[in-house]
Amino acid sequence: MTAVSDELRANGRVIALVPTMGYFHRGHLSLFQVAKANADLLVVSIFVNPIQFGPAEDYRGYPRNVDGDRAMAQNAGVDYLFCPEADVMYPSGYSTYVEVTALQHLLCGAFRPHHFKGVATICLKLFNIVKPHVVVFGQKDAQQAVIIRRMIQDLNLDLEMIVAPTVREPDGLAASSRNEYLTSEEREEAVVLHKALEHARRLIESGERRYETVRGEIVALIQEKPLAELEYAEIVEADTLKKVDPLRGDILIAVACRFGKARLIDNIALKI
């Protein structure tokens, strides 16, 4: 992969990278479109990264479909599919990790303490291997995007990062590979996450600025659903991920909730 990238760069070609864990859906395809619009060639990586999963999480059971992904990538105009194995990315004796300390333990990091250490590490490795000029991430994984942007800035990486909008199903549920885990009843209830976020948006746009009021209504709406196990509902500064009260500036309203086997996240960004 690095040899291919070196040759492409030597010929003046602009390379975009979309890092993924595979099991492609419409959200991934939208990232590919954004990447292709900003580069000459598109590399998509597929790697289910073991070091971003906790011991009790779904690494073994994470949905995989490499043959289906390959067909979708080809139809979407992906130029190169990079699918390394875990023992190649983390050979015997591997001992180097990347941590974005100010951001990695907030929001999802409070519930998945090693997750973003794994995410930052694998992203830096992919950036070094693929040598892209442009990388594209999705807004659905907002904390991930904030952390990777900070890593790029802090480590003086010579690449541009683009965050593409969240892709949703017709009823508002954010596209996610983990939606595959949902039963029909859980799938019906999971729409409450988007509805709660939109309710919060309307409250703020109508003039509400109190953190506890807006957060309280998000929590109440989600907890009306018997299958929902809310992990967090937070309103934070978009760049620091710290609680903001009263609500002002660039903010992120973010939720994480379990429905059975599925842990779902969603968010909306607002400028007040």
- Binding-site positions for ATP: 21-28, 138-141, 167, 175-178
Q: What is the distance between the alpha carbons of residues 193 and 201, in angstroms, rounded to a whole number?
A: 12
Annotated binding site: 21-28, 52, 138-141, 144, 167, 175-178
First to last CA, the chain: 44
DSSP E strands, the chain: 15-20, 41-46, 80-82, 134-138, 160-164, 228-237, 250-259, 262-271
Structure tokens given for 256 = 């994480």
| Cβ-contact 15, 40 below 8 angstroms | yes
Burial of 101 (0-12, 13-18, 19+ CB in 10 A): exposed
How much of the chain is helix, strand and coil, in % rounded to 5?
40, 20, 35
| Cβ-contact 22, 66 below 8 angstroms | yes
- 105 an active-site residue? no
Annotated binding site for beta-alanine: 52
Of the candidates 28, 115, 133, 194, the residue annotated as catalytic is 28
The residues assigned a catalytic role are 28
